[in-house]
Amino acid sequence: KLPLVTTKDILSGDVQWRGQGVINPFAEGGGLVDLRSYPRLRRYLEARREIIAGRHCAQKIPANWYRTIDRITPALASRPKLLIPDIKGEAHIVFEGGELYPHHNLYYVTSDEWELRPLQAVMLSAVTRLFMATYSTKMQGGFLRFQAQYLRRIRIPQWADVSTALRTELAEAAIKRDFQACNRAVFKLYGLSREERSSLGGNGE
């Protein structure tokens, strides 16, 4: 069982875990575990079989009735990540330090190059909103869909090209969730002109 983070856990902008978890029914070598080898798990699942087997993903292959919607990768829980709900009016990007497994209705971003706090500042900025507004479908009420295919289109500089001072400025803005500070730092990152900054809602600074 893995500790699970859901959309409700990140409503405040920080992770406030409510204690939920997800059972991993997959074997390390691939495929589902044999429940006969896990009697406690078998009893737990059999007691709830009617509900579990009634799911659409279970009905497609009845023999795999206890399969989760998406394959679970336990190592993901221990990786620091940025969590992103699908539909939001503004960018809602939450840092998670590597303790929780993301629910399937949350998108997540990991990085082997960029530090995540500076990357969070980029994702919280007006520049990212411009990317999303350009590529994604706008929902009723002006909400944007922060889906994986749109997030992948965001272009950022190489981490090695970001100065130490700007890295610090980006990280501090993200930690404080200071959106104007995020914008100022990200505008520097992209080298935007005064006119470009103003068009994105900045004051040209």
**pLDDT digits 0-9 by tens, 12-43:** 999 999 999 999 999 988 899 999 999 999 99
pLDDT at 204: 46
- pLDDT for residue 148: 75
> HSE (CB half, 13 Å, CA atoms) of 31?
5
Same domain for 169 and 86: yes
- For residues 10 and 83, is the Cβ–Cβ distance under 8 A? yes
**21 forms bridges with which residues in the sheet?**
3
Is 69 inside a domain boundary?
A: no
96 and 192 in a single domain? The answer is yes
Under 8 Å between Cβ of 189 and 162: yes
Indicate if 32 and 100 belong to the same structural domain.
no
101 within some domain: yes
Report if residue 74 sits inside a domain: no
Domain-terminating residue out of 64, 87, 115: 64
Cα 117 from Cα 80, distance rounded (Å): 10
Whether residues 145 and 49 share a domain: the answer is no
66 within 8 A of 45, measured Cβ to Cβ: yes
Q: Are residues 113 and 184 in the same domain?
A: yes
Number of domain units in the chain: 2
Please compute Rg for the chain using Cα positions: 20
Task: Give the model's pLDDT for residue 54.
Answer: 94
Q: How high is the pLDDT of residue 144?
A: 67
Residues 53 and 87 in one domain: no
Q: Are residues 58 and 115 in the same domain?
A: no
Measured CA to CA, the distance from residue 36 to residue 43 in angstroms comes to: 10
91 and 192 assigned to the same domain? yes
Query: Do 59 and 148 share a domain, yes or no?
Result: no
Q: Which residue type is seen at 122?
A: V
The residue ranges of the chain whose pLDDT is under 70 are 87-91, 136-145, 202-205
* Structural domain includes residue 127: yes
Distance (Å, rounded) from C-alpha 17 to C-alpha 4? 8
For residue 182, the model assigns a pLDDT of 96
* 84 belongs to a structural domain: yes
3-class DSSP assignment, residue 121 = helix
Range of the domain at 94: 79-199
